[in-house]
Amino acid sequence: MTPGRTFYEDQIAMLRPGQTDELIDKHYDDDATLVSFQSIVRGREDLKRYFQSYVARLGGLEVISLDQFVETEDSILFEATVRTALGVVKVYDAFVLRDGKATHHFTGVK
């Protein structure tokens, strides 16, 4: 498995059971930034709070399909169809990586 695909699989595996603190510690730089149309979140502590709330709002996460995936040595871009307690939606995420950790994470729902 490629480094980007491993990063993606780990990300999903930790989101499902709500291991958000571990997710942030393992996958995000200390000064990482998450950008969505709803918010901009900076730094590990704020990211931990954001992801705890995000996972709670989802009420569970099932990836139905990974629809598109591409990576370079320092980025990952994917689109997936997911099911949560809120319904079935298409999501997209892009990560800019440095030394295997996200410096920037762009996310959204179609």
CB 104 within 8 A of CB 84: no
Note the pLDDT of residue 5.
96
List the domains of the chain with CATH numbers.
Answer: 3-109 (3.10.450.50)
Which residue numbers in the chain have pLDDT < 50?
none
Full-model pTM: 0.93
Phi and psi angles of residue 33, each rounded to the nearest 5 degrees, phi first:
-125, 130
Phi-psi region of 72 (alpha: psi -120 to 50; beta: other; left: phi over 0): beta
